[in-house]
Structure 1
Amino acid sequence: MVNRPHLVYFADPMCSWCWGFAPVIKAIRAEFADRLPIRLVLGGLRPGTTKPMDGAAKAGMRSHWDHVHTASGQMFDHKFFDRPVFIYDTEPACRAVVLARRDSMDLALDMLDAVHHAFYAENQDVTSTAVLAKIYASIDGDEAMFRNIFSDPELIAETRQDFYISQQTGVTGFPTLIAGTGADAAFSLVTQGYQGPQKILPALTTWWQRTEAEAVSP
């Protein structure tokens, strides 16, 4: 994938702005398909968090959700805020997407979208292994395999490597989308933060056309 035009998408399954950006990723996949594959890197928004959310944290999150809904139209289940205790550890959800990525990048993107939807639109606890296994099964993954592998140290290390890549790349927020033409070529920033499809798709089309023209020019 890295030796052809492609995108790299830095995201987290429990990032509300990434949920807002989910329709944009769907639109990119529909518009460009295999012409412009997407490499997914899990960012690690709050991996390893152990402290339960307090009232202030919930209030801040509610405000973020309202902003995302206004900007993107994505729906949120506010019954989440009725949970008496919730530990916002994003590592398990990231690890679940990394596991799906072992099968294919398309399955990883499907898993990311499914976890987003389960958490934000359905108030499912995506820090739970059992919940994540069911979500994996819902996208035609092997639930038994998921449960057997999910706690494997190599998978945990692979997930942490994604977090390291995000940090070393200088990504400071999600969603971040960059475009590149090959392993040794510089990347172009498409967006750091949410932008709607009306801005992203024309920008990508222009970049793609320029890249194709440069590839065939003498």
Structure 2
Amino acid sequence: MEKAKLLYFYDPLCGWCFGFSPVIKKLEKEFQKQINFEAISGGMVLGERVKPLSEMKDYLKEAMPRLEEMTGVKFGKPYLDILEEGSLMLNSELPCVAMTVYKSMTNNSSIEFASALQSTLYEKGINLNEIENYEELANRFDLPWEVFKSKMEEPAYKEKTYREFQIGQQMGIGGFPSVVLSIGNQGYLIARGYRAEDEMKAVIEEILAKESATSK
């Protein structure tokens, strides 16, 4: 059986993806010998959807306690402070470009980088719309900052990012997080929205066993 591939459709501004991050990271560690994992940017907040955080404040303050209870993640005080202040613009474009640049510079885990992007916003309250704010991330992942910064400013990487958004659209991905397990020509949608680790693990093991038996 050829090595399976898991596509993790996420968006850096997706709160439920932040909650799902510990799950997908544990799954990558568990199945890395059998499955190649890749984070695919979704482009959730673009164009007319770009808005100040203040417009989402009431909805988020209502949803966040349930999200924390279900997933075990905690929103950091710096994020809660910028949520209260409300002027930060919600825009997926630049953090998604950062993922494209990251994947162009290393074969290391894009799952880990996706998690780090979300931690930067939801735990540290750092504005992801400013290129200079990515220096700490580049350094943390041992990527030369000047090269990383230069690529983030190149139109080619923005164009490549928008092409990546189309992958999810073409596959009918309607929300985030979503997870597709692909083996050969067969694809399995194994999560649409948050799903617990034990459920994910059981589904993946079942599919791998089925495909292994079929390929013999």
What corresponds to 2:52 in structure 1?
52
Contact 1:7 1:180 in 2 (8 A): yes
What corresponds to 1:92 in structure 2?
94
| Greater alpha carbon shift after TM alignment, 155-164 vs 200-209 | 200-209
Instruction: Output one character per residue of 1:164-201: Cα deviation in whole Å (capped at 9) or x when no partner.
Output: 1211211110000011112xx13111010001102111
| Greater alpha carbon shift after TM alignment, 9-18 vs 137-146 | 137-146
CA distance in 2 between partners of 1:39 and 1:108 (Å): 6
Contact 2:4 2:182 in 1 (8 A): yes
What are structure 1's unaligned runs of at least 5 residues?
none
Instruction: Output one character per residue of 1:106-151: Cα deviation in whole Å (capped at 9) or x when no partner.
Output: 3422221111111111111122211123212212121111111111
One-letter amino acid of the structure 1 residue matched with residue 74 of structure 2: M
CA distance in 1 between partners of 2:147 and 2:109 (Å): 15
Write out aligned runs for 1:14-25 (5 A): 14-25=13-24
Contact 2:38 2:110 in 1 (8 A): no
One-letter amino acid of the structure 1 residue matched with residue 201 of structure 2: L
SS in 2 for 1:37: strand
One-letter amino acid of the structure 2 residue matched with residue 83 of structure 1: E
Write out aligned runs for 1:22-41 (5 A): 22-41=21-40
Instruction: Output one character per residue of 1:35-84: Cα deviation in whole Å (capped at 9) or x when no partner.
Output: 11112211011024543233x42111222322221110101022232334
Contact 1:40 1:108 in 2 (8 A): yes
Shift of 1:158: 0.5
Greater fraction of residues in strand: 2
Does 2:103 match 1:101?
A: yes
RMSD (Å) for aligned C-alpha atoms: 1.6
CA distance in 2 between partners of 1:62 and 1:140 (Å): 35
Shift of 1:4: 3.3
Q: 1:136 aligns with which of 130, 138, 142?
A: 138
Contact 2:39 2:114 in 1 (8 A): no
Shift of 1:27: 1.1
CA distance in 2 between partners of 1:84 and 1:119 (Å): 14
Taking a change above 3 Å as real, the CA distance of residues 212 and 173 of structure 1, as seen in their structure-2 partners, is same
Q: Runs in 1 of length 4+ with deviation above 4 angstroms? A: none
Contact 1:8 1:179 in 2 (8 A): yes
What corresponds to 1:113 in structure 2?
115
Write out aligned runs for 1:65-84 (5 A): 65-77=64-76, 78-84=80-86
Taking a change above 3 Å as real, the CA distance of residues 206 and 50 of structure 1, as seen in their structure-2 partners, is closer
One-letter amino acid of the structure 2 residue matched with residue 19 of structure 1: F
Could you tell me the percent identity over the aligned residues?
Answer: 22
CA distance in 2 between partners of 1:204 and 1:50 (Å): 35
**TM-score by structure 1 length?**
0.90
Contact 2:11 2:43 in 1 (8 A): yes
CA distance in 2 between partners of 1:189 and 1:75 (Å): 27
Q: 2:129 aligns with which of 123, 127, 130?
A: 127
What corresponds to 1:189 in structure 2?
189
CA distance in 2 between partners of 1:138 and 1:44 (Å): 24
Taking a change above 3 Å as real, the CA distance of residues 81 and 107 of structure 1, as seen in their structure-2 partners, is same
What are structure 2's unaligned runs of at least 5 residues?
none
Contact 2:6 2:181 in 1 (8 A): yes
